[in-house]
Amino acid sequence: MKTSDEIKEMVRERYTLIAENEKELNSSCCCGEGSCNSPVQGFTVFSDDYTQLEGYVPEADLGLGCGLPTEFALIKEGDAVVDLGSGAGNDCFVARSIAGESGKVIGIDFTEIMIEKARANAEKLGLKNVQFRFGDIENIPMASGTTDVVISNCVLNLVPDKNKAFSEIYRILKPGGHFSVSDVVLIGELPEKLGEAAAMYAGCIAGALQKADYLKVIKDAGFENVKIQKDKAVNVPDSILLEHISVWELEEFKKSGIGIFSITVYAEKPGQAEGSADCGCSCGCKS
């Protein structure tokens, strides 16, 4: 069993490798077609298409997400938004297009090269209200009660102490604030070899919690009105799985009924928020 520090270093090293490649190379190694010897194989299996979104910056899109949290995040003009695991800034720039000139977007990442890339992208765009900070999601470098909306895209899954991560999200949100995060969850237990594989962990599979446990962590942190806004099954290509398990183990894995899902989850910090908006799910609830 790897320690928390070992897991973080493993993730940091592999995302540094990703940052040094172009999106096309990362994507070509994850589509399950042909052979790829890249050390970043397995990372863009889940990525969604951002190209039609306002604020999209191609240079910031490394194809690392598993959803579109900004689509559901109920960001309003003037909001203070924090993106956890901001990478090269992809979700931050989309969020900024919604929050506008009067808003503020802060990206947090613990991979130095990602911070450098994100800052360079922001500088090219001339954006003064988008910042990027080096920091650990288990100890977010933000003051308490200063954030309207938290977003994250396939990153909280990588954090060893998810209870601490959601506790930190709760801390930085204003009363009545909310989050919308996309992440990967499981129904059923992964084979042990997948659970130990660095590529699978950093690719958001091996670090996944059971779906019910993931939602419980959120509720235990004190959040209310927890809703799944989007839920989709993820099919990992055999070519990626066979990097870590045998053909026989793969056959058993497929028979096991294990489900891998990308979910986008919404939840609120108790308290009075300014204004009211639909949470983005089909329940008709209000935030």
Domain ranges in the chain are 4-268
* CB 45 within 8 Å of CB 203: yes
Q: What is the pLDDT of residue 38?
A: 43
User: Of 41-55, 76-90, 251-265, where does mean pLDDT reach its minimum?
Assistant: 41-55
Q: Where is pLDDT greater, at 244 or 148?
A: 148
* CB 109 within 8 Å of CB 134: yes
Q: What is the pLDDT of residue 22?
A: 56
**Euclidean distance between CA atoms 127 and 176, whole angstroms:** 28
The fold for domain 4-268 equals Rossmann fold (3.40.50)
The per-residue pLDDT for range 95-138, each reduced to its tens digit, is 999 999 999 999 999 999 999 999 999 999 999 999 999 999 99
Q: Which of 158, 264, 236, 159 is nearest to 204 (CA)?
A: 158
Kindly indicate the confidence band of residue 5, based on its pLDDT and cuts at 50, 70 and 90. confident
- Rounded to 10°, the helix 162-172/211-220 angle is 40
Answer whether residue 14 shows pLDDT above 70. Answer: yes
Spatial neighbors of 152 by CB under 8 A, at least 6 apart, are 69, 83, 84, 85, 179, 181, 182, 183
Q: Where is pLDDT greater, at 101 or 242?
A: 101
The per-residue pLDDT for range 31-59, each reduced to its tens digit, is 222 333 344 444 445 567 788 889 989 88
* CB 204 within 8 Å of CB 66: yes
Q: What is the pLDDT of residue 272?
A: 81
Neighbouring C-beta atoms of residue 41, cutoff 10 Å = 20
* CB 149 within 8 Å of CB 79: yes
Query: How far is C-alpha 217 from the chain's CA centre?
Result: 16
Kindly indicate the confidence band of residue 80, based on its pLDDT and cuts at 50, 70 and 90. very high
Instruction: Count how many Cα atoms sit within 13 Å of the Cα of residue 69 in the half-sphere of its side chain.
Output: 35
3-state helix, strand, coil in the chain (%, to 5): 35, 20, 45
Kindly indicate the confidence band of residue 205, based on its pLDDT and cuts at 50, 70 and 90. low
Q: What is the pLDDT of residue 123?
A: 96
**Euclidean distance between CA atoms 124 and 118, whole angstroms:** 10
**Share of residues in the chain with pLDDT > 70 (%):** 80
Q: What is the pLDDT of residue 275?
A: 52
**Euclidean distance between CA atoms 81 and 8, whole angstroms:** 24
Answer whether residue 216 shows pLDDT above 60. Answer: yes
The mean of the pLDDT values for the chain is 82
The per-residue pLDDT for range 260-279, each reduced to its tens digit, is 888 999 999 999 866 544 44
Please state the rounded mean pLDDT for residues 57-79. Answer: 91
The per-residue pLDDT for range 175-187, each reduced to its tens digit, is 999 999 999 888 8
Answer whether residue 152 shows pLDDT above 70. Answer: yes
**Share of residues in the chain with pLDDT > 90 (%):** 50
Strands 259-268, 173-187: pairing is antiparallel
